[in-house]
Structure formats: structure tokens, C-alpha cells
Structure 1
Amino acid sequence: MTEMRVDAPALVALAEFPDTTPRGIAGVIARLVNAGELDVGDRLPTVRELAATLGVSPATVSQAWQALSRAGLIESRGRAGSFVRGAASARLAPRMRGMAAPDDPVRLDLSRGTPDPLLLPALGPALSRVSVRAETGSYQDEPVIPGLASVLATSWPSRAEAIVVVDGALDAISRTLDQVVRFGDRVVVEHPGFPPFLDLLDAFGAEAVPVRLDEHGMLPEALAAALARRPAALLLQPRAQNPTGASMTIERAEELARVIRSSDDADDLVVIEDDHSGLISTEGDVTLGTWLPDRVIHVRSFSKSHGPDLRIAALGGPRSLVERIMARRMLGPGWTSRMLQTILLDLLTDGASIDAVAEARRQYYTRQRALGDALRARGVPVAHADGINLWMPVLSERSTLVQLAAAEIRVAGGTPFLAAANGSSVGGTTRRASEREFVRVTVGVVREDAASVADALAHAAQHLVAGGY
């Protein structure tokens, strides 16, 4: 790509700058980037050059540039100048690229969907109790250590014929899809839903069939309509749904199971449940496996409760399907490290670790309630949510990201979470023209001062940056 330098007079010729505050300047530049009038790789004017042209201080333009950088629209290359930012590294799938946050530090990063590290149980005691020797005597040993197998079976939300351990929830989802979905198959997904699920379906050559949600999860009547398309699988999050924070009630789960059981088009449907926040959810265990044990794969991850870097999740369901998944896995990684399994077993049975997870659950509930109540008091109609994320309606997604970046706050744009078709494509996802816009806020890391955070979020949600979008 040929680099083009855009000097200050040329930039001013492209658009008017009616508001020369940092937020107003950032808004105009953001609009030019979004409209394609500034191309990826274009070199922007220097801070002093644009400041002189607009008749403002260099500090004002510098703050605008910082806000655009935090929003991921431009990047600084030191003395070479500031440039319109290109796409993220190809190591990430399209929607995951849309979720990726820039590396620039901000005052408050609410974009990542990760747990508060201060609320994770301490690993030191568990590590000190792990054997210094690997315990695997054979490559064909049982994939789950007996103690962990017993704890998982006792705590499972329904009777599962087989439970195994894999390398995180996405590993479990991917391996299950690999066994039940063929190229061209349809898969029912939540709308909005978790972006990596949609990227996975693209990788499998499958078609996503979106089903809308309310505060209790998938709408039964919408699921019934989706089943008429004869999907091979259904992907859902029973608790603390990402991004909305919705959790199914037992009544809703039973109703969804009834819809599936009564459908003539769902005879071979496999339900895949991602219970990624189970141990920090304030809602009770729930699974469609209670009513559909022969067709539900339930996945329980320990990343949110015990640490993302443990990379451990448990997968349970009908023995025939679980054994197919594990047989294929034996031709790859084989099993999850038994040393890691031993650490998880220690964390699940040690009193101090159990207390730490219980305290995290209480803290997340308190933080959700504090920020949610504060936003509703400021006129932002957010739904009550479970877990660590909150789905916030906004007048303009891009405007909100830019305004919050100016306040050194980062949230995740809502577009990558959308599975619906028809509208303009962004990062492999499309938005319906009439659809309200949202951003995802990771409430779980708002440790204090919910009122001032709500002030900033509400202001950004309810206003447009000068220049419009």
C-alpha cells in the first residue's frame, strides 16, 4: 500500500471542524476513517501543524490523537508520525480482531471480558502441593484424574454419561462442532452472541441461524422458527451470557427443551452449552440436559472463576459423542496436563480457594448492581445482568467508543457480537439497518466509583460526536 501524507489544509478541506475540542476533533477524524475518506496507512498531519490550522493549542490536538489511538483508529509510529490504523494481526479470526483492544494504556479498560485478577484464588498454595514429577504412565491412560472426575460428576448440573477435561471452553466447543457439523450445515446461535462462536462456524463452513434473547436467554418462539431450518446444532450460554449477562431460568430451559423435543425438524439436533461463568454466576445451575440428556453437551469452564491461563474446561454428555470427541483428540494433544488437572482439583476442594471464589461471586454481583442501577438512574436502559459483562444500548457505537476513548475509558464495540444478516458488513459481521446499537462493558473490573464511571458511560451512550456517523 502506498503511503499518502495528508497535510492539515487537505484534512480541513475534507471536512468541517465545528467543534474544536479534543472530542470534536476526534469525532471528525473518526467519521473520515469510517467513511473511507482517510485510508489505512494514510499519514496524518503533525499535532502542531493541525493545531495551527485549526487555531487551537497543540495539547488539544494531542488529546484528540490519543483518543483516536485508544479507540483503535490511528497509531503512532514515533517520529515517523501518526497513521490510520490497519487491520489487526491475522493470528486472530475476523470477529476476534473486532474485539481486540489496542495496546495503548487507558485509565479504565472495560473491553476485555476477563475476570478481575484480584478476585482469582491464589495459585501458590495449589502449586506447592503439585507433584514434582509427571504422573502419566501411559499415553492411553484415562484422560481425567480420578479425584477431579469425582468432583466434576458430583457438581454436574444433570446426569452425564461421560465427563472429560479439555483445554478451555473454546477447545470444547470446537471439538464438539467438529463431530456434529459438516460444511453447509446450519447452527442456531444467540443474537447477540459470542464472536468466536461465529468465527468457528465460518471456519467449519456452517451457516449461523440467529435467535434473539430476552433477560432469560433464547426466546422459545424464535427458537421454534429457527428449528424449521433443520439445524445440526444449537449453541447457547445458559448463564451470564456474553455479551448480555442473561441467565436462563429453569422454567425457560424446560420450555426450550420442550420446543426441541416437539419439533419435527430437530431429530438429530445436538445442543452445546457453554457455562463459562458458572462458579461466579449468582443464578443456579441450569442445563437442557435435564430434559434432553441424550443430545446435550454441557461445557463448564473455570477461566472466569479460577484463572484464564489455567486453560481448563470440563465437557460432559452422552458417552457415544464424548468418546468420539476424545478419540479424535487423542490424535492431537491427547489429554489435558494432569499437573494442571491436579492444580484445578486442589482449587476446587481447598477451603481458602472455595471462599475466594464465593467472595468473587459476591463482588461481581455487587459491581453489576451498582453500575447497572447508576446507568438506569441516568436514563440508560440496561437490563439486569449476571456475571461480569453488561450490554449497553447507545445512540452510536463508534461515537461511544471515541467519546469514551477521550475520557481514557475503553469498552468493546457491539458489532462483532451480532449474528444477524442484512446491513453493512463490519469485521465479518453484519448489522440490520433498523437494529439498535450497543457496546459491551466488562463491569467485573469496576472496583470503585461506579457513579463516575456511569456518568462517563451514560454521556457517551446518549450523545453523538460532532460530525455525526
Structure 2
Amino acid sequence: MAAQYAIEGATAKGIAASVERGVSEGGLAPGDALPPVRRLAEELGVSPGTVATAYKELRQRGLIVTRGRGGTVVAEVPSMASRRPPRVPAGLVDLSAGFPDPAFLPVLRPPAAVAPVYGSHRAAPRLAHLEALTRAWFERDGVPAEHVTFAHGALDCIARLLSTELRPGDSVAVEDPGFHHVLDLVPALGLRAVPVAVDGEGLVPESLRAALRGGVRAVVCSPRGQCPTGAFFTRARRDELVEVLREFPEVLVVEDDHNAEVGGAAAYTLAAAGLDRWAQVRTASKHLGIDLRWAGVACDAVTLARHDRRMVMTSGWVSHVLQETVADLLADGAVRDLVAAGEEAYAERRSALLGALGSYGIRAVGASGLNVWVPVRDESAVVNGLRTQGWWVAAGARFRIAAPPAVRITTATLAPADALRLAADFAEVLGDAQATYGG
């Protein structure tokens, strides 16, 4: 425990409030140890049961975690200052956000008329024709689609799956580097994020095995278009990961296939491998529009039941107006052609920047998706250096736990001709950084 902060209180609620105040005001930092129950009870002149009740409440709210012999510590809460992207300075070319090119997104046309119904849609939450389109979408890539449901986007779905499956203090294996919103979401749910290394083919099997042996109860990963590295599962890597996961059949595997339509990579998914507990989430954001807060989910029967029970008790269902909009877009041939053109353009733009950087001897990765990941020695030096050249890229810190430093460059709107100029500026910045920082 931080030496300068003293926990106070004569009741369980008072003690819990004191700890929470210490966390919110900075007196207690993530990872700080709290006193053992009996010692704190003696210091405060209360019963051990009172302290135990306070700690139980704090655990349930995700503020503290108990690590066996490691004792009780303040949970690793998301650092919103580091994870949230800073505001883009005026006048710069924004290559930091990870968004698709609007030129390859269809115009959204909500249905002209939706008939009113008596009561609610809780009894029939999914439109039958959208459910059929969703099943076909998954089945196209070999993903079993006997059990499908809908959610309000990938993060909404992942949060619901984890919160119904796990309890505060449980561990979740996450990609490192990985999607910054997932890295924030896991600790916000009171769970502990366990980093798993990623290479060009996605999760590294031995790193995943180590996390599973350490007791993680769920795995969250992307089969292609991985954010931020662009990694994707090859058939061989998928099979290696399945072999590891079969040793832990009780672990829930959640695949976030958000780049299914524009990733530029084949689908070798864990969801198609016959695991006991699994879910794959696909959203419309990257290929139909970021304002479409809809996701299709394919999963095993137990996961479906748990997800939908929680959905019924909260938002109930996804708006039928939104469902009709998505269904119309998925069934539109012209939209499919536009999406295919976008996938081709994104591949060309990624390749153009990778090639341009490579011509200067700059190593970068980005085999699929909308981004390129460039390892660097000093993220701040590179981000600020490129800013002086008119570019705004994302520092890698918000995508990392233990992975080495890098910057992420979104190539979705970067024309190949501009990639040449960016690479030249990048090389100049690296030269300046070497002179200033020694490499």
C-alpha cells in the first residue's frame, strides 16, 4: 500500500469508500497492496468481518483483486489519459484513427416505414431475414451458424460475454499489442488483462499456452486485420492455437473479426475449429459505416443463452429500424461491389506504404486490415517529428502492455503517392531521432 495513504472507516461501507477515494484521488495506485484483513481490522478497531465485507464489495466493483499469496491489490484500471487518442492538431493529415475511407462506405438509407407494434420486441428480438443473412455471412467462412444473435457492436458484445462468464478478479488473455478499447474494457470490468504476444500470424502459441496455464478464463483475439499490427491467422497458426486451446476446454474464446469484409486475408478462424466454448463477433463498422452500431454473433449454445439472457435484462434488443437498415445493405449487390473495391484499395494502400518504408530500410508490418505498425525506439520523438512534417500518427503506447514501442499508421485514406512522401519524412525523422537519442 502507498505509504502516504491511510485507509479509514468504522463500517464496511466507510472502509470501502475510503479505498475508493484513495484510488480516485491517486493515493492508491494500480498494483498497490492493501493491508491483510486482520491487520487492517486491528488498525481501525473493527472486526475482521467488517473489513472482509468491505473488500468483497470492492472486488465485486472491480476496484481491487486478490492474487492468492500475492495478497489483495488495487486493480489495474484503464489509464484513460494514455489510451484515449489525443485531439488531432489542426492542419495535419490524420493517419491515427483507424477509420475506413468514407469513399468506400455506402450511403445509409434507413427504411422508409417501420410499422408500430404493441409492446416491445423482447419476444422476437431478431428480424428473420437479417438472421438468415447473418447465418450466411458466417457460413461463407466455415463458421458454424446454428446459434446466432445480435449486439450493439463488438465491444458491447465482448463486454456482455465477459461479464456473464467471469467474475471480478478473473484473468483474460488479450493480444499485446492489441485493440486499445479491449485493453481498457477488460480492467474496467474488474478483470485482469494477461498479455499474449503477437507476431505476423497473430497470437504466439507458446505465449498463449503460458497465459492459459496461468489460469485465464477467456481469450479475446482477432483472426485477421488485427489491430494494430494487421496480423492474420494462417491455417498452420490457427491449427497450432487450436491444439493449445483443446488443453483448456472450459476457456471461452472470443474472436473479434471486425475486418471480415475489408481485411484482405483469408478466414482461418478458431470459431470454425470445433472448440467447446467460443464466439465470433462481426460488425458493420468497417465496411458499411461506423454509425451502424450492430454486430452479428455466432457462438456455442451455452454462450448464446448467457449472452441473450443478459441482453434481455438490459437493452432488450437491437433496434428493428437499425436491423432493417443493415439487412438492406447486406442484400444490396451494389453495396457488395463497393465494399470489394474498398478491400482492394486498402490492400494497395497498405502495400504502398510498406514498400515505401522498406526502401529506406524501415521495418514495418501490416499484412491485412487498415493499419501499418512500425517499431521505433522512441514513440514520442517519431510522433512529434512527423507532426512537424504535417502528419499525425498514433503513438503505440495505448495499444501495448509489455510489447516494444511502435507507432500505428492508418493507411485507409493514404494514397500511394502520398505514401512515398510519408516514408521519406519518416526516414528523416528517424535520422533526427538517432542524432538526438542515439538511435
Both structures adopt the same fold (TM-score exceeding 0.5):
yes
Aligned partner (choices 442, 453, 459) of residue 422 of structure 2: 453
C-alpha distance in 2 between matches for 1:99 and 1:463? 28
C-alpha distance in 2 between matches for 1:96 and 1:359? 37
Relative distance call for 1:335 and 1:108 in structure 2 (3 A) is same
Alpha-carbon deviation of 1:161?
3.3
Relative distance call for 1:283 and 1:317 in structure 2 (3 A) is same
Q: Indicate the SS of the match to 2:314.
A: coil
Alignment of 1:404-423 (within 5 A): 404-420=386-402
- 1:333 equivalent to 2:319? Answer no
| Residue in structure 2 matched with residue 273 of structure 1 by the alignment | 255
Relative distance call for 1:340 and 1:417 in structure 2 (3 A) is same
Alpha-carbon deviation of 1:138?
3.3
Relative distance call for 1:246 and 1:271 in structure 2 (3 A) is same
| Residue in structure 2 matched with residue 87 of structure 1 by the alignment | none
Relative distance call for 1:117 and 1:191 in structure 2 (3 A) is same
- 1:178 equivalent to 2:130? Answer no
- Asked if the contact 1:194/1:242 (under 8 Å) is kept, the reply is yes
Alignment of 1:12-411 (within 5 A): 94-95=79-80, 98-123=83-108, 126-127=109-110, 129-134=111-116, 138-156=120-138, 157=141, 158-261=143-246, 263=247, 266-411=248-393
- Asked if the contact 2:352/2:416 (under 8 Å) is kept, the reply is no
C-alpha distance in 2 between matches for 1:441 and 1:134? 46
Count of residues paired in the alignment: 358
Q: Indicate the SS of the match to 1:356.
A: helix
- Asked if the contact 2:349/2:415 (under 8 Å) is kept, the reply is yes
Q: Indicate the SS of the match to 1:310.
A: coil
Relative distance call for 1:335 and 1:105 in structure 2 (3 A) is same
- Asked if the contact 2:386/2:425 (under 8 Å) is kept, the reply is yes
Q: Indicate the SS of the match to 1:300.
A: strand
Say what the alpha-carbon RMSD is for the aligned residues.
2.1
- 1:438 equivalent to 2:406? Answer yes
Q: Indicate the SS of the match to 1:440.
A: strand
- 1:464 equivalent to 2:433? Answer yes
Per-residue CA deviation, residues 32-90 of structure 1 (Å, 9 max, x unaligned), is xxxxxxxxxxxxxxxxxxxxxxxxxxxxxxxxxxxxxxxxxxxxxxxxxxxxxxxxxxx
Alpha-carbon deviation of 1:201?
1.4
Q: Indicate the SS of the match to 2:279.
A: strand
Q: TM-score, normalised by structure 1?
A: 0.72
Per-residue CA deviation, residues 81-128 of structure 1 (Å, 9 max, x unaligned), is xxxxxxxxxxx96357534231532331001111111211222xx43x
| Residue in structure 2 matched with residue 10 of structure 1 by the alignment | none
- Asked if the contact 1:190/1:213 (under 8 Å) is kept, the reply is yes
C-alpha distance in 1 between matches for 2:80 and 2:358? 29
- Asked if the contact 1:134/1:339 (under 8 Å) is kept, the reply is no
| Residue in structure 2 matched with residue 24 of structure 1 by the alignment | none
C-alpha distance in 1 between matches for 2:323 and 2:217? 32
Q: Which runs of 4 or more aligned residues in structure 1 lie more than 6 Å from their structure 2 counterparts after TM superposition?
A: none
Relative distance call for 1:409 and 1:135 in structure 2 (3 A) is farther
Q: Which has the higher contact order (CA 8 A, sep 6+)?
A: 1
Percent identity, aligned pairs only? Answer: 35
List runs of 5+ in structure 1 lacking aligned partners: 1-91, 421-434
